Amino acid sequence: MSNMKRLSAGIASLSLMIPLILATVGVAAAPIDDAGDAYNKSVYVQAIRLFRPLAEQGNSDAQAMLGMMYLKGEGTTRSYPDAMKWLLLASSQGNTSAFNNLGAMHFNGDGVTRNYPEAARLFRQSAIKGDKYGQTSLGSMYLNGHGVDKDVKEAVKWFRLAAASGDVNAVNALKRLNQ
């Protein structure tokens, strides 16, 4: 048998074996998925341990999660400076969750001076990128005139967008407005 025929036969048999090997071994979950699973199971210390190296490597989702965990004190002592650090890094990459959590920090005065206009600006950054939580938060800002001129029509616009994405708070806000 020629070398070409042997190589061709070897490749053919290998291509038949690959699916069997993968089925036996299984495919490992991505590290961000493992970290997310730990967070969803409320195993926060493990989640932080898994998110941190990803965040340090520049993963904006891991940075946003780490920032949120420091903001809430999940798996660690609450630290507004650490929350701000990770959320700013994630927001610099356009992470919508980071914008939303930074907005919440400015709205509540968590680790910063309460600043409604800055909160509205950050919620808008999240909202225009399609984040339902940012949309609901921005709708609330318009409804109450916090950091923006009070504008019920604009509030309803943002609540409808968020409700269409399944945000329960936006649905409830629309119900209250229709009463």
In DSSP notation, 16-77 reads: HHHHHHHHHH-PPPPHHHHHHHHHHTT-HHHHHHHHHHHHHTT-HHHHHHHHHHHHHTSSS-
- Boundaries of domain holding 153: 94-179
- Please indicate, yes or no, whether residues 106 and 55 belong to a single structural domain of this protein: no
- Please indicate, yes or no, whether residues 58 and 113 belong to a single structural domain of this protein: no
Supply the pLDDT for residue 61: 96
- Please indicate, yes or no, whether residues 137 and 170 belong to a single structural domain of this protein: yes
- Please indicate, yes or no, whether residues 98 and 72 belong to a single structural domain of this protein: no
User: Where residue 125 sits, what CATH number does that domain have?
Assistant: 1.25.40.10
Domain annotation covers residue 49: yes
Task: Give per-residue pLDDT as tens, 17-53.
Answer: 444 444 444 444 688 999 999 999 999 999 999 999 9
Task: Give per-residue pLDDT as tens, 60-105.
Answer: 999 999 999 999 999 999 999 999 999 999 999 999 999 999 999 9
* Domain end point (choices 48, 82, 116): 82
Domain annotation covers residue 114: yes
